[in-house]
Structure 1
């Protein structure tokens, strides 16, 4: 592991009523210790997991619209409002890595199309814009992810089928078991969350706290639905 701890610098915060400190989980953060090569952020939409992940990416010097330190392009409203209020503790500090932001991946792919002069070697030899959404994600993971690096992924499952999510787990396993890579992933996927020995931080209930895989809503709701589909849908659709 490289990134060991994320600390919220509360003494620098002028007011807690404004975004992003109006998000309960962010306001309650003191420090988060990272003790696994693979860490997941989970929580409902708006719970703050992507906000913190984006701030970490900004602090790493990655493009907050998606990319690494050398991917310079502009996308409207991608600056992190939290990054100046957090401190990252490293051992050792690294500068190599990538921030995947699913919602703005098209802008990253367009940027690569404009600047790549190496035959898209880092992306499977083909323009990301000429691959399907899922194929382009996997081309990035397989070809660009390597070496000592930290990878920050915001909902990578957005473009991936269940089979491709399993393929991503294999990529993560191959990189982190070599001791060369660290992953922090914000996700809603019960498949990705099943990665062995990963840490899971929940952003629900107004705080950030470690949680076991089986205690996540993602696992329990999916399991109940698969085992009780007809009853689940009956209860969901019945009139009051």
Structure 2
């Protein structure tokens, strides 16, 4: 018997439901739920979409006909639309002093010390691109800025050839996603085929993340990663580096990554942006603070 979810997937297209793009979904379907219910609904659509046949997913192999043209060309920070300059994230100096960022290569890296605004801008850019950020269950907080999730409203983006779907990955949020996949797999074991054939929950954190990367990054789109190295050993980071290199070289996938990892920063051809400066500036890999610290440590020890 065809379910409402299956009917939605057929109506909304083959790839868009995978990533939460709103472009093919009725507005009332998106806004009639409260935050918690909307998160669950989106997750169900996401997971059920993986149960379609592989041919229907329009997955792209490593060697494809896709043009190497980037999906996202640039972003401009519209300071005149800031609702305030006194509260986070609009009080971050680097956000106040940066006018725009270009994305000339398939892999872009944001690097800098903790608190410099890397993840803040990454998430805002993801929201501005209309790509859903899975956040699990919302919980009460002691204190939060009312402006915390509004930076995307002050961003103007330029697409190369129209908007594309995409994904957002964060190690701290991935566990909730893995558990939800496992619950669905209990009734539909074939779902795990798209993640290497094994439960994501029964694997280590790093192994389950790699299964996800190897599956989702075969799909054309714009993919955001927020400090993925937190879940990965150095050896597994090298495996992710291979995936990023292969998928970006294929021409169908573009990646924007916030990271402290010199391994991931070394992705061939990546554009590296330094958040340790007064404004966000492009820099050479060897000139990043992280590279210099690791080089000094391995050369002379602590």
Distance of 2:184 and 2:223 partners within structure 1: 22
1:32 aligns to what?
A: 101
SS of corresponding position for 1:151: strand
Matched ranges for 1:207-226 at <5 A: 207-226=279-298
- Pair 1:188-2:260 in alignment: yes
The offset of 1:206, in angstroms, is 3.0
Contact 2:166 2:222 (C-alpha < 8 Å) held by counterparts: yes
> Could you say which residue in structure 1 is the equivalent of 2:238?
166
For 1:155, which of 227, 251, 254 is the aligned residue?
227
- May I ask how many residue pairs the two structures share in their alignment? 224
CA deviations on 1:8-54 (whole Å, 9 max, x unpaired) are 12221122111101111111121111111110000100100000111
CA–CA distance in 1 between the matches of 2:280 and 2:223? 21
Q: Deviation at 1:186?
A: 0.4
The CA distance in 2 between the partners of 1:63 and 1:114, in whole Å, is 21
More helix, by proportion = 2
Structure 2 length as normaliser, TM-score? 0.70
Moved over 3 A (4+): 73-79, 114-118
CA contact (8 A) 1:94 1:149 kept: no
Please, what TM-score do these two structures have when normalized by structure 1?
Answer: 0.87
| Post-superposition CA distance 1:180-237 (Å, at most 9, x none) | 11010000001111112211001113321111111101111101100101xxx3xxxx
**Deviations, residues 107-152 of structure 1 (Å, cap 9, x unaligned):** 2222323445442222112222121000011001112221321110
Seen in structure 2, the aligned counterparts of structure 1 residues 30 and 220 have a Cα distance that, compared at 3 Å, is same
Taking structure 1 as reference, are residues 120 and 61 closer, same or farther at Cα in structure 2, changes over 3 Å only? farther
Which aligned pairs between 1:56-95 and structure 2 lie closer than 5 A? 56-65=125-134, 74-76=137-139, 80-95=149-164
Contact 2:245 2:268 survives alignment (8 Å): no
After TM superposition, the structure 1 stretch with the greater mean CA deviation from structure 2, 92-101 or 149-158, is: 92-101
The answer for unaligned runs of 5 or more in structure 1 is 67-72, 234-240
Partners of 1:122 and 1:94 lie apart in 2 by 25
Residues 46-96 of structure 1: CA deviation (Å, up to 9, x unaligned)? 100000111111122333236xxxxxx544489733111112210112432
RMSD of aligned alpha carbons: 1.9
Measure how far apart 1:163 and its partner are: 1.0
Question: Quick check: which has more Rg, 1 or 2?
Answer: 2
